[in-house]
Amino acid sequence: MSAGNAATGPHVLRRINALAVLNALRAVDDLIATVSGLVQATGLSRPAVTRALTALTEAGLVEFTGATEHQVGRPASRARFRAELGHVAGIDIGPHKVLVMVADLSGKVLSQRQAATPADATGERLVRLLRTTLAKAAAETGVAPADLWSVAVGAPGIVDHASGEIVLAPSIAGWSGLPVTAELRGWLGCPVHIENDVNLAVRAERWRGESSDNLLFVQWGERIGTGMVIDDKPYGGASAAAGELGFIDLVTDLDAEPPAATDGLGAFERLVGAGAILRLAIQRCSGDVRDRLEATGDIAFLFDAAREGDEAALSVVDTIAARFARGLAVQLLLMDPQRVVVGGGVTRAGELLFEAVRKRLRPLLLAPVELRVSALGAAGVALGAVRMALDHVEERLTSSL
Amino acid sequence: MSAGNAATGPHVLRRINALAVLNALRAVDDLIATVSGLVQATGLSRPAVTRALTALTEAGLVEFTGATEHQVGRPASRARFRAELGHVAGIDIGPHKVLVMVADLSGKVLSQRQAATPADATGERLVRLLRTTLAKAAAETGVAPADLWSVAVGAPGIVDHASGEIVLAPSIAGWSGLPVTAELRGWLGCPVHIENDVNLAVRAERWRGESSDNLLFVQWGERIGTGMVIDDKPYGGASAAAGELGFIDLVTDLDAEPPAATDGLGAFERLVGAGAILRLAIQRCSGDVRDRLEATGDIAFLFDAAREGDEAALSVVDTIAARFARGLAVQLLLMDPQRVVVGGGVTRAGELLFEAVRKRLRPLLLAPVELRVSALGAAGVALGAVRMALDHVEERLTSSL
């Protein structure tokens, strides 16, 4: 019974109110609002808002800036969220790149740095690369890594939420079982959280306004993974292993043994992941396009050529669209979501590719679905990591009020 | 605000208490319990239980039978749920059979009748067949169809819950758009409900004790469909079209156009549905086994032969297990359920088949899963329909208290 009282006692209410006021302050563009504005935004009473602002001011999170501006009768108290008070970092570790974002407490990204992951990177080398990239991104914002308040890491693989480590990451050598959060925590001195990359991309979509309560998010890059939102809640499965579209097998002959994977990729990833697109493009294209693809390994040249009407490039886009639709149709037949949002590196192809995907998808489905390309592009995972780091900061902040 | 008051007013509480007492009474084997027993089973106070029993008695649902039995001091009031007061029917309409169950208000199945669906059955003929089968099952229990309190129908296809009709049923000719509930309602005069067959099978599993809150149920017969329970709630998808495993395509060459379906079956159904199993068995088996399969069209003979060690039959079982595992693996990679329960006609094969499925499944998955065969066999859909009909009866009963 005492736990029940604690969970509903007046200080919990104060904390909830403070969080509501903080969120309302952060939701306004210039982070400044009047008490009346906050009363309206939160639905709280004026005394409750004032009490929350006092607690937030005492904690240093809010300052009053209204001295210069007076209304007739009474001075307008203008509260400002001090977003510059602290910083967080969001990190996306992929098989080919490390992307680090440093943001202030309002979630505004102040700097970002990307580094290529060497193909033969061991876990140890990855941690080193991660540290230098993080240090550079932080320095650009004028922050020492040790001054970060919270860091979140997104990585492919299945996260053991109890230990906070990746337990299965077939795509990065030496990565499975590596105590990456412990390593970073020891170096940084702040809390470090880890989450499956696709789950973070879903979090970023929702943060940036995606409100469908029955959503399928597909991350399409080198790897292919999906995240589901069911009844407005992220769905992770019984072993936090749901959504592994990249591993479904549409390729192996039905009565044959599936071949053992040597590249760590799943069958569907090996078919339409960024690497497979590059291989098919090099195979079918010729001349300049082929040369550029071979030299850079960047599929952007394929999509450029297709947009310019190159027939070989267009045929690659159509083949990839048809194959991707085949796999996506499987998940749509099983999940029947209201909307599909596709993010990840391959979305740089733009509508050229996705119009073809929609066309190929339609005859394969029993129920209609809306498919759109994420506005976040390849930044989704890192941005979702920023959001996760902020969530943890907020939890600590408001629990200390 | 008045709606809020109505929903929490004292008569709502009385109704909830009456329902709790009714459920407790129905849960005991002989439908008889003492007031003390009901106090213990429901957690309600003795006065609340007594009030509920009075209301239930006035409604004719409960009678007291304790006159013969006295304890020292006070007479033991023994309440009995009058399950014989009314009857409901649950109907399973499949591509090959119509199965009707008639049950009393405790859910005890008193009679059941099955009829084969002619291959060329139009919607109208189906409705006629349904009426005669229902009439026979009811007569066996001594009830006229017009005296049924509630009927529920399970059918393959996507149900439009607003109109209460099947809007998409590719497997039964003339069935899509047929106003089957309106037809039956006009004839019977009682409420008739319709639901997707697999959803009803899931309901039956949960009724009969399946308590996993993250469950995948697979109906494996002529058709293949799945039902999901997520967070202890049935998940139907945005268009009530989730779980269509039968339609996933592991067969068509990736870069080919999927062939137009002429049999109404999905690609996976055409691969490992009961019909496909029969065709493969006739193709590979010889002698007596083949003769019996051809004469009866019953795959039970295949499984009998396999159990007796017939090599051709064993090879069919292994091929089917491998193919079924390939498709099921897809759904498991996407959904990551805690447990899989397989029901439907093919489960008559027993552990011989399902041990092979488990073995084939293991190397295809990233997370472990428990797979078991439903104890309900081919009766699941009709039983779930009985449960649905009862739920509606209870709703009406308790709302009139």
Asked if A2-81 and A86-202+381-399 have one fold, the answer is no
Band of residue B360 on the pLDDT scale cut at 50, 70, 90: very high
Question: What is the tens place of the pLDDT at every residue in A127-176?
Answer: 888 899 999 999 999 999 999 999 999 988 777 777 777 766 656 666 66
According to the model, what pLDDT value does residue B3 have? 42
Question: What is the tens place of the pLDDT at every residue in A64-101?
Answer: 886 544 455 555 578 999 999 999 999 998 877 899 99
Distance (Å, rounded) from C-alpha A104 to C-alpha A100? 14
Per domain, the residue ranges of chain A are 2-81, 86-202+381-399, 209-375
- Is there a contact between B367 and A239 if contact means CB atoms under 8 Å apart? yes
According to the model, what pLDDT value does residue A156 have? 82
According to the model, what pLDDT value does residue B397 have? 77
Interacting residues of B60 by C-beta distance below 8 A, sequence separation 6+: B82, B85
According to the model, what pLDDT value does residue B259 have? 77
Does the structure show a pLDDT above 90 at A389? Answer: yes
According to the model, what pLDDT value does residue A168 have? 62
More confident position, A292 or A257: A292
According to the model, what pLDDT value does residue B6 have? 45
Q: Which chain A residue is nearest to residue B322, measuring alpha carbons?
A: A255
* Closest by Cα among B294, B273, B269 to B283: B294
String of DSSP letters for A238-302: TTS----GGG--SSS-TTSPPPPPSSS--HHHHHHSHHHHHHHHHHH--HHHHHHHHHH--THHH
Residue B388 CA, distance from chain mean position: 9
Contact A358, A182 (CB under 8 A): no
- Is there a contact between B214 and A237 if contact means CB atoms under 8 Å apart? yes
Q: Please give the mean pLDDT across all residues of chain A.
A: 87
CATH number among 3.30.70.2860, 3.30.420.40, 3.30.70.20, 3.20.20.10, domain A86-202+381-399: 3.30.420.40
Distance (Å, rounded) from C-alpha A328 to C-alpha A217? 11
Does the structure show a pLDDT above 50 at B229? Answer: yes
According to the model, what pLDDT value does residue B167 have? 66
Which residues in chain B are closer than 8 Å to A369, comparing Cβ atoms?
Answer: 238
According to the model, what pLDDT value does residue A31 have? 83
According to the model, what pLDDT value does residue B148 have? 95
Question: What is the tens place of the pLDDT at every residue in B65-114?
Answer: 865 444 555 555 789 999 999 999 999 988 778 999 999 998 999 999 99
Which residues in chain B are closer than 8 Å to A368, comparing Cβ atoms?
Answer: 239
Backbone angles phi, psi at B92, to 5 degrees: -110, 115
Which residues in chain A are closer than 8 Å to B241, comparing Cβ atoms?
Answer: 336, 366-367
3-state class of B112 per DSSP?
strand
According to the model, what pLDDT value does residue A262 have? 75
Which residues in chain A are closer than 8 Å to B332, comparing Cβ atoms?
Answer: none
Contact A305, A317 (CB under 8 A): no
Distance (Å, rounded) from C-alpha B184 to C-alpha A263? 58
Contact B85, B149 (CB under 8 A): no
- Is there a contact between B331 and A326 if contact means CB atoms under 8 Å apart? no
Interacting residues of A263 by C-beta distance below 8 A, sequence separation 6+: A270
Task: To the nearest 10°, report the CA torsion of A141, A142, A147, A150.
Answer: 0
- Is there a contact between B334 and A248 if contact means CB atoms under 8 Å apart? yes
- Is there a contact between B237 and A330 if contact means CB atoms under 8 Å apart? no
Which residues in chain B are closer than 8 Å to A336, comparing Cβ atoms?
Answer: 236-244
Tokens of B71: 């304890």
According to the model, what pLDDT value does residue B175 have? 63
Q: Which of B171, B250, B359, B364 to mutate to test the interface with A (most CBs of A within 10 A)?
A: B250
Instruction: Scan for tokens 């489905």, then name that residue.
Output: A365
Fold of A2-81: Arc Repressor Mutant, subunit A (1.10.10)
* Class of B209-375 in CATH: alpha beta
- Is there a contact between A330 and B330 if contact means CB atoms under 8 Å apart? yes
- Is there a contact between B244 and A333 if contact means CB atoms under 8 Å apart? yes
CB atoms within 10 A of CB A287: 10
Task: To the nearest 10°, report the CA torsion of B212, B216, B222, B223.
Answer: 130
Name the minimum distance, in Å, from the CA of A253 to any CA of chain B: 8
- Is there a contact between B337 and A237 if contact means CB atoms under 8 Å apart? yes
- Is there a contact between A248 and B329 if contact means CB atoms under 8 Å apart? yes
CATH, domain range B85-202+381-399: 3.30.420.40
According to the model, what pLDDT value does residue A211 have? 77
Name the minimum distance, in Å, from the CA of A140 to any CA of chain B: 40
Q: Which chain A residue is nearest to residue B253, measuring alpha carbons?
A: A251
**Range with the poorest average pLDDT among A150-159, A228-237, A275-284, B283-292:** A150-159
A214 → closest Cβ in B158, B238, B248: B238
Highest-scoring range by mean pLDDT, A328-342, B11-25, B177-191, B383-397 = A328-342
- Is there a contact between B322 and A258 if contact means CB atoms under 8 Å apart? no
Does the structure show a pLDDT above 50 at A313? Answer: yes
According to the model, what pLDDT value does residue A283 have? 97
Instruction: Name the strand (E) or helix (H) holding B275.
Output: helix B274-284
3-state class of B55 per DSSP?
helix
Distance (Å, rounded) from C-alpha B398 to C-alpha B18? 7
Q: What is the ipTM of this complex?
A: 0.82
Band of residue A182 on the pLDDT scale cut at 50, 70, 90: confident
Q: Which chain A residue is nearest to residue B212, measuring alpha carbons?
A: A238
Question: What is the tens place of the pLDDT at every residue in B28-59?
Answer: 877 888 999 999 999 999 999 999 999 899 88
Band of residue B176 on the pLDDT scale cut at 50, 70, 90: low
